[in-house]
Structure 1
Amino acid sequence: MDVSMTTWVLTIVGLCALIAVDFFIGGRKPHEVSLKEAGIWTTVWIVLAGLFGLGVALLGGGEASGEFFAGFITEKSLSVDNLFVFVLIMAKFAVPTIYQQRVLMVGVLIALVLRGIFIAAGAAIISTFSWVFFIFGAFLIWTAWKLIQEARSDEEDEEDEEFEENRLLKAVERRFPSTDKYHGTKLTIVENGKRLMTPMLIVMLAIGTTDVLFALDSIPAIFGLTQDPYIVFTANAFALMGLRQLYFLIGGLLKKLVHLSYGLSVILGFIGVKLVLHALHETGVHVPEISIPVSLGVICAVLIVTTITSLMASKKQAQVEDAAEGDGARSTRKGQDADAEHRADVDS
Structure 2
Amino acid sequence: MDVPSWIWTLTAVGIVGLLLFDFFFHVRKAHVPTLREAAVWSALYVGVAVLFGLGVLVFGGGTAGGEYFAGYLTEKALSVDNLFVFLIIMGSFRVPREDQQKVLLFGIVFALVARTAFIFVGAGLINSFAWVFYLFGLVLILTAGNMLKSESSGEGHQGENIMVRLARKVVHTSEEYDGDKLFTTVDGKRVLTPMLLVMVAIGGTDILFALDSIPAIFGLTQNTFIVFTATAFSLLGLRQLFFLIEGLLDRLIYLSYGLAAILAFIGVKLVLHALHENNLPFVNGGEHVDVVEISTGLSLSVILGVLVVTVVASLVSKKGRAQTAIGNARRHATEYLDLGYTADLAERERIYAKLVQEREQIAALEEKYRPLLRDEPELTAMIERCEAQHAELSTR
TM-score, normalised to structure 1, is 0.86
**Residues 65-102 of structure 1: CA deviation (Å, up to 9, x unaligned):** 11111100000001111011111101111001111011
Partner residue, 1:62: 62
- Contact preservation (8 Å) 1:258, 1:314: no
Partner of 1:334: none
The CA deviation at 1:323 is: 3.1
Match of 1:259 in 2: 254
Q: What is residue 203 of structure 1 aligned with on the other side?
A: 198
Query: Do structure 1's residue 307 and structure 2's residue 311 form an aligned pair?
Result: yes
Question: What is the letter of the counterpart of residue 130 of structure 1?
Answer: A
Deviation at 1:178, TM superposition (A): 2.3
Contact map agreement 2:314 2:320 (CA 8 A) in 1 = no
User: Superposition pairs for residues 262-273 of structure 1, below 5 Å?
Assistant: 262-273=257-268
Equivalent of 1:248, from 197, 221, 243?
243
Q: CA deviation at 1:308?
A: 1.5
2:35 maps to which residue? 35
CA contact (8 A) 1:92 1:163 kept: no
Name the amino acid aligned to 1:104: L
**Separation in 1 of the partners of 2:296 and 2:158?**
39
Match of 1:6 in 2: 6
Which of residues 152, 166, 169 is equivalent to 2:167? Answer: 169
What is the CA distance between 1:170 and its match in structure 2? 4.7
Q: Aligned with 2:366: secondary structure?
A: helix
Amino acid at match of 2:199: M
Structural RMSD (CA): 2.3
Tell me what 1:298 maps to.
302
Quick one: higher RCO (CA 8 Å, sep 6+), 1 or 2?
A: 1
Per-residue deviation at 1:270? 0.4
The runs of 5 or more residues in structure 1 that have no matched partner are 328-348
Question: Residues 118 and 219 of structure 1 are in contact (CA less than 8 Å); yes or no, is this contact kept in structure 2?
Answer: yes
CA distance in 2, matches of 1:306, 1:158: 16
1:158/1:79 Cα in 2 relative to 1: closer, same or farther (>3 Å)?
A: closer
Contact conserved, 1:134 with 1:276, CA < 8 A, in 2?
Answer: yes
Which protein is bigger by CA-based radius of gyration?
1
Q: Is 1:216 the counterpart of 2:196 in the alignment?
A: no
The alignment-based identity, stated in percent, is 54
Question: 2:152 and 2:49 mapped to 1: Cα distance?
Answer: 34
**1:1-348 → structure 2 map (5 Å cutoff):** 1-154=1-154, 161-166=159-164, 169-170=167-168, 172-173=170-171, 177-191=172-186, 194-283=189-278, 284-314=288-318, 318=322, 322-324=365-367
TM-superposed CA distance for 1:131, in Å, is: 0.8
Distance 1:165 1:132, change over 3 A: closer
Report the Cα distance in structure 1 between the residues aligned to 2:75 and 2:91, rounded to whole angstroms. 25
CA distance in 2, matches of 1:81, 1:316: 16
Structure 1's 116 and 160: CA in aligned 2 closer, same or farther, altered over 3 A? closer
User: In the alignment, is the contact (CA less than 8 A) between 1:274 and 1:290 conserved in 2?
Assistant: yes
Amino acid at match of 1:112: L
Distance 2:319 2:26 in 1: 34
Structure 2: state its 5+ residue gaps.
Answer: 279-287, 323-360, 371-396
Letter in 2 for 1:285: V
Aligned letter for 1:272? G
AA at the equivalent of 2:124 = A
Matched letter for residue 54 of structure 1: L
SS state at 1:48 partner: helix
How many residue pairs match? The answer is: 322
The structural deviation recorded for 1:304 is: 0.6
